[in-house]
Amino acid sequence: MPTSLRDSPGARVGLSIAIATGLYGISFGALSVASGLDIWQTAAMSLLLFSGGSQFAFIGVIAGGGTPVAAASAAALLGIRNAVYGMQLNALLHPQGWRRFAAAHVTIDESLATSTGQSDPLEQKRGFWVAGVGIFVLWNVFTLVGAFAGDALGDPKRWGLDGAAVAAFLGLLWPRLRSREAGAIAVVCALATVVAVPFVPPGIPILVAAVVAAAIGWFGSARAPEGEGLEPDIDPYRGTDSPGHSTRTAGNP
Amino acid sequence: MSLWFWVIVACVVGFLTKLLGYLLPRKWLTNPRVARVAGILTIGLLASLTIANTVATGQQLALDARLGALVAAAIALWLRAPFLLVVIVGAAAAAGLRLLGWP
């Protein structure tokens, strides 16, 4: 029997990440206006582009004196991973009709991670939509708050919001580090990122890590036993210290 | 106006990229190697986003209060704290360390 939405572990994790990520929209709004975009351009980015990495890449290039073309290119490159996320989510959720377009728009790191962090198909759906729509609403609201009140608020770092983002990404990664191989891949990709940072524009180190990860997946698959546990469609919460583990177990006895 | 134009271009390209994932043939997805690559890609990207958010400031590497946030979040996760608490711990660690004079 499916759990009610109230007790849904997918919805709960989705709401948590929505609040954490949505609040971070303050920093985007403030930094975007500071980089030279006006309030409406800033709002359009959160409303229509809606991909934190791509948005930060865009304003990062502009703030660093780059051209709008370079900024759009950086944003597009950083958005490529969303196509992979879309492929995974299409296989998990099978959205039809207009829902496919809505799902595509709220396909981001957090909605994917929330969805694939659940094992029950219903919870995967709930996690995706609660995280995706929740972040969309809050991200846009707090983008405006940040854009209008950025100067008055002062440095978002003072509030530790950059630290909150670090914690959120680690919280999303943590449940996936069940096997030694997963941990090794995380370390290798983190190292590749750190090595790349000084040499390529901001945002690109993440793509370098993606290429490294894809190469490990593509060329390493012959050696690893089938079903090693790296596929996104199996339960990443089982046997870990992850948040939501106890809830999920309680919800699915 | 040129800036507006490229803002819209970025938005359109961003959405079409997302939509492409939903329109690619199903056959691609049932390939176990593709699924494995996608799974590893997720781990790699999350690890990369974590460390990039921790130590990168533009093209500079910096060890600042965000490192404290990472350590505090890891401890909270180790102690099985719920996700939202982990995030709050991360923010509190970064803000607290800055109050103590860390950059």
The rounded distance, in Å, linking the Cα atoms of A119 and B34 is: 19
Tens of pLDDT, residue by residue over A4-51, are 777 888 899 899 889 878 887 877 787 788 778 889 999 999 999 998
Whether the model clears a pTM of 0.90, i.e. scores above it, the answer is: no
Which of A47, A88, A111, A169 to mutate to test binding with chain B, by most B CBs within 10 Å of its CB?
Answer: A169
Tens of pLDDT, residue by residue over A139-186, are 999 999 988 875 565 566 677 777 877 887 788 788 778 888 899 999
C-alpha distance from B25 to closest chain A C-alpha (Å): 9
Tell me the domain boundaries of chain A. 5-178+229-251
Asked if B39 and A217 count as a contact pair (C-beta separation under 8 A), the reply is yes
ipTM: 0.83
In chain A, residues with a C-beta closer than 8 Å to the C-beta of B103 are none
By Cβ distance, the residue of A79, A169, A212 closest to B50 is A169
Q: Do B42 and A232 touch (CB under 8 A)?
A: yes
| A3-9 long-range Cβ contacts below 8 angstroms, 24+ apart | A3/A123, A3/A251, A3/A252, A5/A126, A7/A247, A7/A251, A8/A123, A8/A126, A8/A251, A9/A118, A9/A123, A9/A127, A9/A244, A9/A247, A9/A248, A9/A251
Q: Do A58 and B76 touch (CB under 8 A)?
A: no
pLDDT along chain B (103 residues), means of 10: 91 94 74 72 81 85 94 96 81 92 87
By Cβ distance, the residue of B3, B15, B69 closest to A167 is B69
Joined together, the tokens standing for residue A143 give 């983008």
